[in-house]
Each structure stands twice: as C-alpha cells, then as structure tokens.
Amino acid sequence: MATTHSTAAAATTSAQPNVIADALKEAFYAGLIALGLFVLIIGLKTDQNIHNELIVVQRWSLLFVVVAIVTVGRFAFSAFVWPEVERRRAIGKKAAVASEPGFIKRNINWIGVIALFLFPAFVIWTSGVQGSLKWIDNFGIQVLIYVMLAWGLNIVIGLAGLLDLGYVAFYAVGAYTYALLGTHYGLSFWILLPAAGAMAALWGILLGFPVLRLRGDYLAIVTLAFGEIIRLVLINWREVTNGSAGISGIPKVTFFGIFDFDVSSPFYIGKVFDLPTSGVYYKIFLYYLILILALITAFVTVRLRRMPVGRAWEALREDEIACRSLGINTTNTKLTAFAIGAMFGGFAGSFFAARQGFINPESFVFLQSAIILAIVVLGGMGSLVGIAIAALVMIGGMEALREMQFLKLAFGPNFTPELYRMLLFGMAMVVVMVWKPRGFVGSREPTAFLKSSKSVSGSFTREGHG
Amino acid sequence: MEYFIQQLINGLTLGSIYGLIAIGYTMVYGIIGMINFAHGDIFMLGAFVAMIVFLILVAMFTTVHVVFFLLVMMIVAMLTTSLWNWTIERTAYRPLRGSFRLAPLITAIGMSIFISNFVQVTQGPRNKPIPPMINSVYDVAGISISLKQIVIAVVTIVLLAIFWYIVNKTPLGRAQRACEQDRKMAALLGVDVDKTISITFIMGAALAAVAGTLFLMYYGVVAFSDGFVPGVKAFTAAVLGGIGSLPGAVLGGLLIGTIESLWSAYFSIDYKDVAAFSILAIVLIFLPSGLMGRPEVEKV
C-alpha cells in the first residue's frame, strides 16, 4: 500500500488531480474489499491428503494477484475509462444524426441465414471431412440447439413477459417423449417430432393453468419449482424413465424413410448413393435439420407477432391491467404463450434425444434453464437476431474456450478452461444486466403503436406496474 | 409414537436452519421486493468459510474446544458473507433499482451461478467432509437427542431474540420497517434508504452464515452445489410463512423442516424434494400471502 500513497502524492501535480486522486482512493478501497472477500476463499484452499483428511493449502501469491488485478482495474476504470465514457456521452448527445442503414445492416437477416446454410460446406473446405465433424457437431449443432431453445423461450419471456425459469422441463418432456416412444415402439422421428411438440405444449398448458394468477417473480419461482419437480420425477420414476441411468440406444433420424444413417441398415446412405462410409453425413444432416427447425421457430415468432395473439402478448407484457381492461382474454393469451413456447422446447428436446442417442435427467437441470434465460436476456428480450448472436457468443464462445490450448501455456498445464465457463456465464449475466438492462440488441418496443404517440415508450415502463 | 417424536425433533432441527436462511429472503423481499436468488449461495459460502476456519483452528489448537471453535467459525463466516452480500448489493443490485421488474431477479440468478462456480473453481468440486465436532447423544425416554441438535436450537433461539430486538426496538429496525412500508416516504422523512437496504443485506447474510456454520456442524460436509436446494427450501419457508413477515419466516422454516423429515420417514425419501417444491407451488398458487403475511394490494 506504500506505493499507492506515494503515487497519490505524485498524481496531485498532474493535469486532473481530482480524478486521479479519487481514482486512487477508490482503487484502495476496492483492493481492501477484494482482500476481505477473497482472503479465505482464494488465499486458502482445502485439499484432501492421502489419508482422505482435509488440509489447508496456502495460496497467498494467487490472492495477491487477484487483489492487485481488482485494485488496478478499479483505478483504470475510475481514472480513464469512466471519464472517457462521460465525455463521449456528452458529445454523442449533441451529434445524434440518424444515418441511413447500409446494405449489410438492412439485409442482416438474409446474410445470416445464407451464411448458416453455407457453414458446413465452408468447414469441410477449410478443415477437411474428418476435421469438420467437430465444428459441425460440437459447434454448429450445439449453438443452433440453444438458438432454437432461446427463441422458444423468447416467446414466453420476450413477447409475453412471463418469466419462466422451468423451461428446460419442456425440453425434457420432448426428449423423453421421443426417447421412450422411439425405443419401445420403434416409431419414426418424423412421427414423434410433432408428438413431442404436442406433448410439451400440453404440459405447457397443464403447468400454465395453475399459475395464471401469478405475476413477476412469484411466477418465476413456481415455474422453477415445476421444472425441478419434473426432473426429480424423471430421476425417481425408475420403472419408466430408468432413473439417473437414463435411456440409451435412441434411434437415429432417417431421411424421411428414404435412406438412413445406420451403417448396418440396407438403406444406409453410403449404399444408396455409393459413397464411402463416414459419420459426417449424419452430422451434416442433423445440422440442416436443427437449422430448419430453428428457422421455423423464428418464422412462426415473426408471423405471430403480427397476429392478434402476438399483439396481445406484447400488450400483456407491457401492462396486464390495461390489457385486461381493454377486453383481452389474459387467460388464453398466457396459455397460448406457454403452449407455443413449450412446443418449440419439445421439438428441440426430441432433436436433442435423436442427436445424443442417450439422455438422462442430468441434461435437464435448472442450470440449463438459467443458461437459456441468460441467452434470451443477453440478446435483448424480444430480438431474434440479438438472441442468435448471444447464443453464438455464449455457447460458441464456451465451446471455443475448450479449443484454446494457448491458455494452458499461459496458466500452466493444469488449467482447464471448461471450469470457468459457468463462472463467466454468471458474470456476463450480471454485467450485461447492470450495464445494459435491455440486452445487447435490445428491441422491446411494441411492434404496433400510434404514429403521433407522445407517451412514454414501452421500454421505459416497468412491467406489471403500468 | 417415539419414532414420530424422533422425526419431529430431526425436522425441527433442520427447520431452524431453513428458518435462519428464510429470514434473509423475507427481509430483502419486504424491503425492496426482489427475490435474492443468490441468498442460498451466500449460505453455502458461509458454510465453506466456516469449514476453512475450522481446519485452521484444528491445525492451531490440535484439540477441539467446541464452544470457542463454533464462536470463531460463526463470527468469521458472518463477517465474510456480510462483506460479500454488501458488495453484491452495491455492484449488482443497486444499479438496477427502478429498472424493469425482472431485472434484479435475473441479476440475482447470474450472481447465484457466479458464486457457486467461483467456489467450485477456487475450492474444487469435491465434497468437503470434516471430522465430527460434537458426538454426545442423550437418551430421553427412548428418544435420542444429540448435543448438535441442542446447540442448533440454542443458537437459533438466541439469534432470533437478538434479531427480534434489533428489528422491533432499535432506530435501525424502525428505519427498516419504515422502508418496508414506503421507501419514498421514509426517504422524505430522513431515513437513509440506501444505507438501510445495505444493512438489511448484511443482516441477512450474517444469519445465512450462522445457518451455514450450523449446517456444517450438523452434517459435517459441504459442497459447492449445496446452496441451491436449501436456498429454494428456505424461500419456500419464507413464502409459506408470508413473505415480509419475520415470525412467519421462522414458522415456515420449522414447518418445511418438519414436513420434509416426516415425508422422508413415512412416505418416500426419494421424493422429499418433490414434496418441498410442491408445497412451494401450492402455497404460491392458493395462498400467496402465506400464513402470517399481509395480502398484497395491486397498485395501478
């Protein structure tokens, strides 16, 4: 701390003495608080020794590094970043000239869709047939599943304003519907996909019905409880679901029954088209399947927004009391939102089961709901493009973290980046919420409003408060 | 009958811990109307700090002085979690006051994920077992009561008495109750609202830390993921008792603990968490104002 004081004395002679002096003071306090927060948790680590007893390992250097980072970070923020932000804000207010959106900005949706369709070809071209597997499966399909889930949840949260913390339950219902009916009765994916959607929608209505009267955070907590109940039932109802062991051997998707991707089957794609045996066909097929499913979700969302029910959802989100007094049937409006949102969750679930070939209740924990929620929130509730970008950044970023071998060089061979993904996720949720409560690409303005309206726009009102 | 009373005592012990956590939920909800989702993880953090302090103390003293150890563990855990909760409130919740209604809840969920993963990253994902601190068990008319259970009961009662005194008899408690009724009016009358809210978070965290220490002493093991389920159950307790009501939170905690214990004893141990979650859903749907709470008036 001695250095802090000496630099404080030196800083008073600089151009902006107050800013620097204040920043030093803040940095000092931030460092002190960080020391208090982390001294026991980071400074000491509990480990098991060979006798299986817990012992305390000292890590003061790590503690010092963390505290130093907090102190310096706080100083830099208060001394340089914040004044710069303030200055820009002052300038920005004066020169707010609306510019005509360029070609890319106007056609961003189409460019995005075309890029998604070309993605597998691009990957195969750059990293070869075998190398592309990882990118198409772990990266492309994984991200698209989350995009679809987030778009489905967006209907419930972003459009209808109902915070649903148990969305993963519908994902689970869809997955188990396909897994159980597919393994026991051998039904095809193409029959079970709509069935899974219908089943999830039914559960959406069943769970939505009791919570119609609830609002805001009470609704959120009850949906969380329902989500957990479904998961616990899946774990404990062993006769049907096989408990924590899960269901394996879930049949693969076929190409509408014309040919399939099972090497031993007579209609294997390689035999039908005289191609070499490879796992890549199935991955590419799955990629396009989830891409089309996700696009259907987006299309339905966009169209529904323009229909009376979509307008009613948005009205409900902005002000439930006003909505009711204008004669909108809030019961039906809420139930349709739950049902349609759940249906897409169910579609994604059955796809997930088909892709994995194995499911167990571990895939449907609350954390999954929180991740999907985080994507919807970070993307700016209501904005489809924003949500897709958020899913790409969060899920794709996490998958990419796994690939970053150079981090091991920087932090030592025992460094496992995967451990930090949820930490970063939680932090991103907090930071984005504090910094931009409307998300990265927040567009929550109602799609329909009076041209001459002088009243406050929807984004300034508080939900449920009018 | 003896079996029943035995289970009842086990349930009340568990319920005391839930009650202590539930107070933190109910006070924060009462004063700023937000569900502090990260509160369960603050409880877990308290248990972890207590565990680390216990290991240090064992290394220093070699023999276990139970009362002294427990006091030091509780005080250090209370200080640490108070600082954590204060920091969280300042950085994550305060900037969002007056934002749209769901924003603080979403931040709190993010904070909850952050804390549990932070502990996982820094302390490792394994369960952390400690050697038993107290072993004595008394036999009263065929019912065994362990000294641990008595300690939990005594600590809970003493803390609740202190707490009741602070909320009902001191200027600080008056300021808290004023903020709970009407924050704007309290500010106009000279109550420092921000400070009062900060102190509320600190008090909630301190009680959660005590609950964490007792949890560690009772079960002798803690893991980074132990915050979620007790957190949800404590929240259930707060809702059952009537959110915003302090005696309600304790009553709710005792009820939830008892129901859980009896459910595991007589029906099915697998479905004990289902029972807790079902109670939460049923209470919120049919009795949203709880047993001892005031019905919420919808303001337009």
Over residues A399-426, the pLDDT tens digits come to: 777 666 666 666 666 666 667 778 888 8
* B128 touches A: beta carbon within 8 Å: yes
Taking CA–CA distances from B129, the nearest residue in chain A reads A54
Tokens, residue A55: 């012992």
pLDDT, average across residues B143-162: 89
Q: Which residues pair with A46 in a beta bridge?
A: A56
Mean residue pLDDT of chain B comes to 87
Collapsed DSSP state (helix, strand, coil) of residue A18:
helix
* Residue in B53, B105, B273 closest to A163 by CB: B105
Which chain A residues are closer than 8 Å to B106 by Cβ? 373-374, 377, 429, 433
Collapsed DSSP state (helix, strand, coil) of residue A404:
coil
CB A445 within 8 A of CB A314: no
Q: Please tell me the pTM assigned to this model.
A: 0.85
Q: Quote the pLDDT of residue A195.
A: 92
Highest mean pLDDT among A85-94, A250-259, B182-191: B182-191
* Residue in B277, B288, B299 closest to A228 by CB: B277
* A417 touches B: beta carbon within 8 Å: no
Note whether B113 contacts A429, CB cutoff 8 Å: yes
Collapsed DSSP state (helix, strand, coil) of residue A414:
coil
Q: Which residue has the tokens 């007790």?
A: B230
Q: Quote the pLDDT of residue A99.
A: 56
How many beta-carbon pairs under 8 angstroms link A with B?
Answer: 180
If you ran DSSP here, which 8-state letter would residue A104 be given?
H
Query: Which one is predicted more confidently, A443 or A59?
Result: A59
Over residues A197-223, the pLDDT tens digits come to: 999 999 999 988 888 877 777 888 888
pLDDT, average across residues B159-163: 90
Instruction: Work out whether strand B128-129 and strand B221-222 pair parallel, antiparallel, or are unpaired.
Output: antiparallel
pLDDT, average across residues A29-55: 81
Q: Quote the pLDDT of residue A442.
A: 53
Q: Quote the pLDDT of residue A3.
A: 45
Q: Quote the pLDDT of residue B112.
A: 92
Integer Cα distance of A48 and B146 in angstroms: 28
Q: How many CB atoms are closer than 10 A to CB B81?
A: 31
Note whether A434 contacts B91, CB cutoff 8 Å: yes
Q: How many CB atoms are closer than 10 A to CB B161?
A: 10
Least trusted range by pLDDT, from A3-7, A48-52, A166-170: A3-7
Q: Report residue A464's pLDDT band, with 50, 70 and 90 as the boundaries.
A: very low
**Where does residue A397 rank: exposed (0-12), middle (13-18), buried (19+ CB within 10 A)?**
middle
**Which B residues in the span 157-176 are in contact with A, Cβ-Cβ below 8 Å?**
none
**Nearest residue to A466 via CA among A347, A320, A334, A283:** A320
**Virtual CA dihedral for A154, A160, A162, A167, nearest 10 degrees?**
-30
Q: Quote the pLDDT of residue B103.
A: 81
| pLDDT at position B107 over 60 | yes
pLDDT, average across residues A304-308: 89
* A15 touches B: beta carbon within 8 Å: no
Query: Which one is predicted more confidently, B33 or B253?
Result: B253
| pLDDT at position A14 over 50 | no
Taking CA–CA distances from A429, the nearest residue in chain B reads B110
Q: Quote the pLDDT of residue A453.
A: 47
Q: Quote the pLDDT of residue A175.
A: 93
Q: How many CB atoms are closer than 10 A to CB A52?
A: 7
Distance (Å) from the alpha carbon of A270 to chain B's nearest alpha carbon: 45
* Residue in A48, A165, A420 closest to B121 by CB: A420
Q: Report residue A257's pLDDT band, with 50, 70 and 90 as the boundaries.
A: low
pLDDT, average across residues B109-132: 88
What ipTM was reported for this prediction? 0.85
| pLDDT at position A449 over 60 | no
Taking CA–CA distances from B274, the nearest residue in chain A reads A229
Collapsed DSSP state (helix, strand, coil) of residue B209:
helix
CB A291 within 8 A of CB A117: yes
* Residue in B105, B130, B235 closest to A54 by CB: B130
Percent over 90 (pLDDT), chain B: 35
Which chain B residues are closer than 8 Å to A220 by Cβ? 35, 102, 105
CB A167 within 8 A of CB A224: no
Q: Report residue A437's pLDDT band, with 50, 70 and 90 as the boundaries.
A: confident
* B103 touches A: beta carbon within 8 Å: yes
Q: How many CB atoms are closer than 10 A to CB A5?
A: 11
Highest mean pLDDT among B181-185, B197-201, B278-282: B197-201
| pLDDT at position A455 over 70 | no
Q: Quote the pLDDT of residue A94.
A: 55
Q: Quote the pLDDT of residue B67.
A: 85
Over residues A75-132, the pLDDT tens digits come to: 888 888 888 888 887 776 555 455 566 677 667 778 888 888 878 777 777 777 676 7
| Burial B24-53, CB ≥16 within 10 A → b, else e | bbbbbbbbbbbbbbbbbbbbbbbbbbbbbb
- Phi, psi dihedrals of residue A327, rounded to the nearest 5°: 90, 10
Integer Cα distance of A165 and B2 in angstroms: 41
Taking CA–CA distances from A433, the nearest residue in chain B reads B107
Which chain A residues are closer than 8 Å to B117 by Cβ? 419-420, 422-423, 425-426
pLDDT, average across residues A35-41: 85
Q: Quote the pLDDT of residue B295.
A: 65
Taking CA–CA distances from A431, the nearest residue in chain B reads B92
Note whether A232 contacts B99, CB cutoff 8 Å: no
Over residues B36-77, the pLDDT tens digits come to: 889 999 999 999 999 999 988 888 887 777 888 889 999 999
Q: Report residue A317's pLDDT band, with 50, 70 and 90 as the boundaries.
A: confident
Q: Which residue has the tokens 């966009």?
A: A302
Over residues A175-198, the pLDDT tens digits come to: 999 999 988 887 888 888 999 999
Tokens, residue B295: 């019905």
Q: How many CB atoms are closer than 10 A to CB A455?
A: 9
- CB neighbours of A219 closer than 8 A, spacing ≥ 6? A162, A163, A164, A211
- Alpha helices for B170-220 (secondary structure H): 171-181, 183-188, 193-219
CB A163 within 8 A of CB A216: yes
Mean residue pLDDT of chain A comes to 79
Integer Cα distance of B73 and B64 in angstroms: 13
Taking CA–CA distances from A229, the nearest residue in chain B reads B274
* Residue in B91, B118, B278 closest to A229 by CB: B278
Supply the DSSP string of A344-369, one letter for each residue: HHHHHHHHHHHHHSEE-GGGG-HHHH
Amino acid at the residue A172: A
* Residue in B83, B96, B271 closest to A33 by CB: B83
Q: Quote the pLDDT of residue A405.
A: 62
